[in-house]
Chains A and B, each alone.
Chain A
Amino acid sequence: MATEAHAAEGATGYIIHHLTPLTVGEGFWALNLDTLFFSAVLGGLFVWFFKRAAEQATSGVPGLVQNFAEMLIEFVDNQVKDSFHGKNDLIAPLALTIFCWVFMWNFMDLFPVDILPLIGSVMGIEYLRVVPSTDLNATFAMSISVFGLIIFYSIKIKGPWGFAKELMFQPFGPWLLPFNLLLKLVEEIAKPISLALRLFGNLYAGELIFILIALLPWYLQPVLSFPWAIFHILIITLQAFIFMVLTIVYLGMAHEDH
C-alpha cells in the first residue's frame, strides 16, 4: 500500500495516504507505530482516569471522577451479571477494559481526519493513521486474546476431556463425530474472526466515509460530516458495547458445563 500511495495522486492518493499506517520494519516483523502509539496512549489515559477514581474511591458521596467511573463499572457489571453466571474475577475487569479501550480507539475517529496527520507531517511523520480500530492488528490482537481466554477457560472448567467431548459429540451425538468436530471448530474460530472483523469493518468504513467527505468542497463538508459524526457517536459506542458483550457471552459459554 505504501508504494501505491507514493504513486497515486489526487483523491485516490489522499485516501490511500490516510489509510496507510506508519510502519517500521519489513514483512511480518513490521510494526505499525501509529497503532501501537495511539492505543498505548489511550490505554494509559483509561488506566490513569480509573486509577484516579480508584484512589479517591469512597463509599460516601462520590466525586465527579468517581461518579463517572462507577457509572461505567455498574454498567459493565450489569452486563456481566446478565450474561455470565459463573464466578470469575477476570471477566468484569476484562469487559471494562475492552469497552473503554475500544470506545477510545473508536473515538479517535471523531477527530477531524486531517488534524492529527497534519500535526504529524509538521513533525516529519509521513503517514499517520490515528484510529487503532481501523488496523486489523489491533482488533485481531484483542479478539485473539479473548479467543485464548475462551479456550483456556473451556479447558479449565470442563477439563481437557470434557472440552474435547463437547467438540466431538455435540450437537449431533457421537455417530456424526467428524461433522460435529468440523461444525464446532468453525464455530469456535468464527468467534475471534467475527469479533475482530466486525469492529474493524465498521470503523474502517466509517473512517473512509469521513475521508470521502473531506474530499468534497468545503461548503458541503459540514452538511455531511456533522450528521455522519453524530451517527458515528452511536456506532463507536455500539461497537465497543458489542465487543464487550460478545466477549462476556463467549466466556460465559466457556464456563457452562453441559
Chain B
Amino acid sequence: MSINATLIGQMITFALLVWFTMKYIWPPLFDSLEQRKKKIADGLAAAEKGQESMHLAEKKAKGVLKIAKEQSAEIVNLAQKRANEVVEASKDLAKKEGERLILVAKSQIEQEKQQAKEVLRKEVAVLALRAAEQILSAEIDKTKHQDILSKISNQLAG
C-alpha cells in the first residue's frame, strides 16, 4: 500500500470530471429544475387567480341575478297595476257606453211614441171628422161651417 504516481493520475481525472460537470452537466440540469419550479409556481398562482376571479364572478352573478329578480318583480307589479287600470277603464267605458245606449234607446222610444201618438192623433182626428161629418152632414151645411170644421181639425192635428 504505497502512494505513487497513481495519485497524480487520479487528481487529473478528478479535475477533468469536476470541470466537465461544472461546465456541461450542472447548469442545464439545474436550469431546467429552476424553470420547472417557476412554471409550477406560475401555474399555482394562475390557478389561485382563476379561483379568485371565479369567486368574484359568482358574486357578481349573484348581484346581477338579485337585481334582475327585483326588476322582474317590479315589472310584474307594474303590469298588474296597469292591467287593473285597464280593466277599470274598460269597465267605466262599458258603463258609459251602456248608459249612452240606454239613453239613445230611450230617446228613440220616445220618438217612436211621439210618432205613434201623432199617427193616432191624426187617425183619431180623421175618424172624429168623419164621425162629425156624418153627424153633421145630416144637419149642417158643409160650406157654412167650413171655418169651424177646419179649426177643430187643426186643433186635433196639433
Whether A59 touches B35, Cβ cut-off 8 Å, given contacts A43-B17, A141-B10, A142-B10, is yes
Binds B, one of A48-56, A159-167, A182-190: A48-56
Contact A93 B4 (CB under 8 A): no
Q: Is A212 part of the contact surface with B, judged by Cβ < 8 Å?
A: no
Residues of B within 8 A of A195 (CB): none
Residues of A within 8 A of B31 (CB): 57
Q: A93: which of B6, B14, B16, B18 is its contact (CB, 8 Å)?
A: B18
A86-115 residues at the B interface, CB under 8 angstroms: 89-90, 92-94, 96-97, 101
- Interface residue tally for chain A (C-beta within 8 Å): 50
Binds B, one of A22-30, A117-125, A217-225: A22-30
Name the distance in Å between A45's Cβ and chain B's nearest Cβ.
11
- Mostly helix, strand, loop or mixed at chain B's interface? helix
Smallest CB gap from A137: residue in B: B6
Q: Which has the most chain B C-beta neighbours within 10 Å: A47, A74, A90, A97? A: A97
Give Cα A141 to B101, complex, Å: 129
Give Cα A159 to B25, complex, Å: 31
Residues of A within 8 A of B1 (CB): 1, 136
Residues of A within 8 A of B39 (CB): 59
- Interface residue tally for chain B (C-beta within 8 Å): 33
Contact A59 B36 (CB under 8 A): yes
Q: Is A130 part of the contact surface with B, judged by Cβ < 8 Å?
A: no
B1-25: CB near A (< 8 Å → 1, else 0) gives 1111111111101111110111011
Smallest CB gap from B1: residue in A: A136
Name the distance in Å between B32's Cβ and chain A's nearest Cβ.
4
Smallest CB gap from B19: residue in A: A93
Residues of A within 8 A of B4 (CB): 23, 25, 27-32, 137
Q: Is A138 part of the contact surface with B, judged by Cβ < 8 Å?
A: yes
Contact B22 A141 (CB under 8 A): no
Q: Is B28 part of the contact surface with A, judged by Cβ < 8 Å?
A: yes
A62-104 residues at the B interface, CB under 8 angstroms: 62, 66, 69-70, 73-74, 77, 89-90, 92-94, 96-97, 101
Binds B, one of A5-13, A34-42, A227-235, A250-258: A34-42
Residues of B within 8 A of A39 (CB): 10, 13
Contact B3 A140 (CB under 8 A): yes
Q: A70: which of B2, B3, B14, B32 is its contact (CB, 8 Å)?
A: B32
Contact B11 A47 (CB under 8 A): no
A237-258 residues at the B interface, CB under 8 angstroms: none
Q: A73: which of B7, B9, B15, B30 is its contact (CB, 8 Å)?
A: B30
Contact A140 B22 (CB under 8 A): no
Name the distance in Å between B11's Cβ and chain A's nearest Cβ.
4
Contact A57 B11 (CB under 8 A): no
Give Cα A79 to B140, complex, Å: 162
Whether A137 touches B28, Cβ cut-off 8 Å, given contacts A101-B17, A145-B15, is no
Binding site for A on B (CB under 8 A): 1-11, 13-18, 20-22, 24-26, 28-33, 35-36, 38-39
